[in-house]
Amino acid sequence: MAKTPSEKLYRLIRSLTPAEKRYFRLFVRGKAERDSKYLMLFDLMAGMESFDDTVCCNKIYKNQPVESRKYSELKAYLYDLVLKSLQSYDEQSSIEYKLNHLLQSVSVLFKRGFYDDCRELLYKATKIATQYECFTHLLEIIRWEKHIAYTRMDVDFLHKQFDQLQFAETRALDQLRNNAAYRKLFFQVYTTIKREALHRGEERMARLQNLVRHELLSDPDKALSYKARVLYYRTLNLYYYAALEPEQFYESGKKMIELLESQPHFLRENLADYIAALSNFILSSGLLGRYEEVRATLEKLRILTPITEDDRRKIHRQYYTNKFVLCIFTGAFEEGRLEMDRCQAEAGQFDPHDYETASFYFQYCCICFGCGDFSGALDHLNQWLNQPRTVEREDLQSLARILSLILHFEMGNSVLLESLLRSATRFLQKKNRLYDLERRFFHFMSELMRAPSARDQQRAFQKMKEDLNELSTLPDARALLQTFDLVAWLEGKISGCSFAEAVQTKWRQRALTAD
């Protein structure tokens, strides 16, 4: 029997919900007395806050000498038993498991010659597979229908039903291919976007535009199923976000949510698309200043009941990510700090191997900055910078360097600033990311360091604000400025108020304009 690493088994057992743990104990009930060690090991690991392999081994074998192979086999067997239990547990609710179970039952009955019973099960399976658009299962059901008729030499059935079966088979194949084509388009757009989330450069946008000119994206009626139509809206929604077309981003997101909510039985099976749609709709509503919709959709996201552990992580991540954005944008930094504390407390419920902390470090930095906690902001920024370089985080490298310079300036670390400025310039030149905004900001910081008086510094702040007003129409600068309100920082320095007060003033002015 293959060895099972102790940590692997421990993580699996600790991931189980209370209901899944109860089900496991019922699942193993009635096994031979010799199997009690597996349940004992299960209970030990389920109750451990931190894993200790030695403690487990000693309690199982009562401090008696034991061969390492014997204990390894015990763990491997338990791991396999837990997986079987979870498969059985999922069969109660998963449509895919139900269909697989029905088709396996058809196979069992067919071998024993109960052909009418097979047909009854195939009828049930057809209803479920059609409702949930399980095209692969539909093809298997049709194959069984033909196979049973052929085995029984039921020529009359084949004569009457053949055209209908062929039509159903052809349609299922067409829908399967159509869905696969939309999925391909979605992932092509997704991967193109994720290479550089702020989409600087005409070449990248040209590639995206070429993808969305595909005939399948010209009309939602080209989608031959609900699932394909969801992919149609998801793909366009991603593109409009990348192309900085907020109105289209909003409208496509709204249509996608309406489509998803129109078929609630699909949501009981899979929440992943709905979570993504709600998150994107929050963003699009925010970009258009529709903050009541932002708050309403945040609440929808918060109260969702996850189906899978992945859902639970995504709801947590998307809710807090978007809540932090709202707090940062409106200047509600103290509220953001409270939400930050709650987010960090909830993070302890997740497996650290799967929990993505880096996605929050940048927002933690902005929230601490808004609260005037520059030391805390720098700690979170450094945590972000110390993360392994990944494709999706490259877009924030420029802003991270700008924020680092601002934080050291605020903390009075003038000795470090010149060195940091040279380092940031070299880094972005090497990455081919030294765009106009970064170049002018670095020049501004150089002037600021040389300014001998408060009046000279004020002139530098004013000049940089004028430069930003000029640059803000460029897509590369606009995307960066949406992540951190550099203008509000400059306005605070010019007027003598805090960054939080400057952001709140801008927020109130926007709210008045919207009214």
Tell whether 511 is covered by a domain.
Answer: yes
pLDDT of residue 31: 57
Tell whether 454 is covered by a domain.
Answer: yes
Tell whether 439 is covered by a domain.
Answer: yes
Confirm if 109 and 117 have CB atoms less than 8 A apart: yes
What is the mean pLDDT of each successive set of 10 residues along the chain, which is 515 residues long? 66 85 82 66 83 77 67 85 87 85 95 94 96 96 93 86 91 97 95 65 80 94 97 95 92 97 93 94 90 93 89 92 92 95 87 70 94 95 79 66 92 88 88 81 88 85 86 66 84 92 88 65
Tell whether 120 is covered by a domain.
Answer: no
Residue 393, CA distances (Å) to 237, 367, 384, 387 in order = 21, 19, 9, 9
pLDDT of residue 470: 80
Tally of structural domains, the chain: 2
56, 73, 91: which is the final residue of a domain? 91
Q: Distance between CA 259 and CA 378 in Å, rounded?
A: 43
30, 62, 91: which is the final residue of a domain? 91
Tell whether 406 is covered by a domain.
Answer: yes
Nearest to 51 by CA among 4, 3, 14, 2: 14
Tell whether 300 is covered by a domain.
Answer: no
pLDDT of residue 181: 97
Tell whether 204 is covered by a domain.
Answer: no
Tell whether 306 is covered by a domain.
Answer: no
Confirm if 30 and 97 have CB atoms less than 8 A apart: no
| Residue ranges making up the domain that contains 29 | 6-91
69, 91, 113: which is the final residue of a domain? 91
Taking only Cα atoms into account, the Rg of the chain, rounded to an integer number of angstroms, comes to 29
- The pair of structure tokens assigned to 181 is 């084509």
Q: Distance between CA 354 and CA 416 in Å, rounded?
A: 36
What is the longest distance spanned by two Cα atoms in the chain?
100
Confirm if 357 and 336 have CB atoms less than 8 A apart: no
